[in-house]
Amino acid sequence: TTSSLSKPYIQIGIFSVRGNADNAAAAMRTNGMVPLVKKMTSKNKTFWRVVVGPASNASERKTLLKQIHGTGFTDAYAVSN
């Protein structure tokens, strides 16, 4: 999916424990969304980002964000990747 948005993804959270990231991703799947779990390293620490997207337009991103907030991830927000 291509997107004209500068921030087409919604970040669910950043987790220091892989299992917690997997649980958040599973919650998104259960609610019909397609999450990505991205392993990252910063300052010799490994963490996992969970994002949903990309949204193809602003309306779709708004709907996704509303769905995600409805699952309890109320601090989710739009990100570039």
Q: What is the pLDDT of residues 42-79, one digit of tens each?
A: 999 999 999 999 999 999 999 999 999 999 999 999 99
Residue 24, both tokens: 């958040």
44: Cβ contacts below 8 Å, ≥ 6 apart: none
Structure tokens at 56: 């193809």
Distance (Å) of CA 8 to CA 41, 44, 46, 60, 66:
23, 28, 24, 9, 14
Residue 62: how many CA atoms within 13 Å on its side-chain side?
3
Mean pLDDT, the chain, rounded, equals 94
Contact 17, 45 (CB under 8 A): no
Cβ atoms of residues 10 and 55 within 8 Å: yes
pLDDT at 4: 82
Confidence band of 3 (pLDDT split at 50, 70, 90):
confident
pLDDT 10s digits, 14-35 = 999 999 999 999 999 999 999 9
